[in-house]
Structure 1
Amino acid sequence: MSSLRNCVPRPAHKERSQPQARKRFGILEKHKDYVIRAKAFHKKQDTLKILRQKAAFKNPDEFNFKMINSKTVDGYHRSKDEVNKYSAEEKIDKLTASLQCTEGQSSRRHVYFAEDREEARELDLQSRSKSDISAIEIPKDIKKKMDRAYRDLETHF
């Protein structure tokens, strides 16, 4: 009898569907989705663990070609070419040219040409009203890079 019972196809087990009252919370995560997500998470954790171990056991005295081609200047590693490439004034000019914004204000401006004083006043009023309306927020990561560049520029003075 047991062999006959094993021959008869049985319906596959189905997971329950998302209840209608919980549709607003998005797709219900099934067990197979959880397994995939958990495996990916553990794989990333294992990779990070291996990298931490490699960093902990790294020999700081091990030879590297960058040891020959670089130099430490004020606590920063600089390549020898970069150290002697520019004079101090050229470095300052390069840094100031790369910085586009000064304290949140854009350095770009439109230049308008007027034929008389009245037209010049009108253009001036229009440009002031547009600049008040179009105040743009600078993203945090860009602002952080700008602040770092300004600090670097201050250290060169």
Structure 2
Amino acid sequence: MSSWKNASKAYQKPHRERHQPEARKYLGLLEKKKDYKERADDYNSKKAQLQYLQRKALDKNPDEFYYHMVNSEVKEGVHYDKKKEVTMSTEQVKLMQTQDHRYIASRRVIEDNKVKSLQANLHQLGSDNLNKHTFFVDDEKELKKFSLTKRLDTPAELLHRRYNRLRNTDVTSKNLQALTKDTDTLINVTKLRHKAYKELEQRAGRKKKLATLERKIEIKKILQDKTRTVKARLAPETPDSAPVYIWKSERKR
């Protein structure tokens, strides 16, 4: 008999909760037991937390002291931390500014050296003002006889090149054919050249920003010097430029 009961329980149809009736479908999904349980657990946990805080407030000793009281206060019922005031001497401030100035100056020198090395390795092919090559002649008769291949001493197939333009003495028929037909090499060289120019542009911009920042620190350091007097300010400080001052001339003893 017991085995029959166990078998009937094993094959018992699972209980399924009903869905929202059609007449109440406008109210949305029907809340199931698992939804209610989640909501109830959340409510009970918040209730327990509030009870704990109430007990903690009731048990608080008004005469107790802890060190965070020094750095915090309550204003109009709102508790917030006080801002820590950094107290440093004038010598300490000057030392920090000197270290910052030296670091920025060293970074600017590094970027300057990088820019110079890139400029030395690159031919300035991208800018129009550097790619113009003007030839002058005396009269129209000489202009009619003018031959660019003779003047540059290079084959006509290589005249369109602005780099690696070989002379007639350095070019043979075999390598001339290779130079004119090797389009893959030309494409790769062009890509590398564009990449190098992009890096050059980025480093030049970084160098300019570091130079501006270095100038700003220098001016702040001069303004802290009590022996120097400002006569007027010509231009305020901007994100891209340092302020411009006119200093009062003083007679040297």
Same fold (TM over 0.5): no
The structure with the larger Rg is 2
Normalising by structure 2, we get a TM-score of: 0.27
Normalising by structure 1, we get a TM-score of: 0.42
